[in-house]
Amino acid sequence: MAVTEILRQCKAQGVTLHILEGNRLKVRGPKGRMEETLLDSIKAHKADLVRYLISEAFFDEQMDKAIADLDQAGINLMDYPAPTRHRAFVLEGKLTEAANAGDPTRFLDLLKRWRSCFN
C-alpha cells in the first residue's frame, strides 16, 4: 500500500501520525476505531511514512491544499483587514520554519491557525 493511501485511510479513521524526536512514529486515534489492516500497513511502511512526513512533498501538499480550499471558497486575502493579513503573514513565516525543521506536528498546528485567520 502506498504511503498516501495509508495517510488517506488514517484520516478517514480519525488516526493521526506524529513524528517524535529521533524520527520515531507515534500513532494516535480513537480506541477501537482503527482497522487492524491499517495498523499492519503502518507497521509495514513505517520507515516510508516517516520519510514522507518529514519530506518537502508533505509540507508542499498540505500548503497547496489549504490554498486551494481558500480559492474554492472564494476567499481573497486582500478582502481582509490589515491586522488579519499581518497575522497570516507571521504564521506563514512560522510555517516555513516548521517545514524546514521537518516538524509535521508543529506545521499542521500552525496551518490550522493560519486557516483560522480566514474563517
What does the pLDDT read at residue 23?
82
The answer on pLDDT for 65 being more than 80 is yes
* pLDDT above 70: percentage of residues in the chain: 100
pLDDT tens profile 90-108? 999 999 998 888 888 889 8
What does the pLDDT read at residue 24?
87
C-alpha cell at 82: 490589515
In 3D, which of 45, 42, 47 has the Cα closest to residue 27?
A: 42
pLDDT tens profile 8-57? 999 899 998 888 878 889 999 888 888 999 999 999 999 999 988 888 77
What does the pLDDT read at residue 22?
80
C-alpha cell at 46: 513505517
What does the pLDDT read at residue 42?
95
**Which is it for the CA torsion 28, 30, 32, 37, positive or negative?**
negative
What does the pLDDT read at residue 11?
86
Plot region of 27 (φ>0 → left; ψ -120 to 50 → alpha; else → beta):
beta
What does the pLDDT read at residue 92?
93
Q: Which is more confidently placed, 64 or 33?
A: 64
In single-letter form, the type of residue at position 70 comes to L
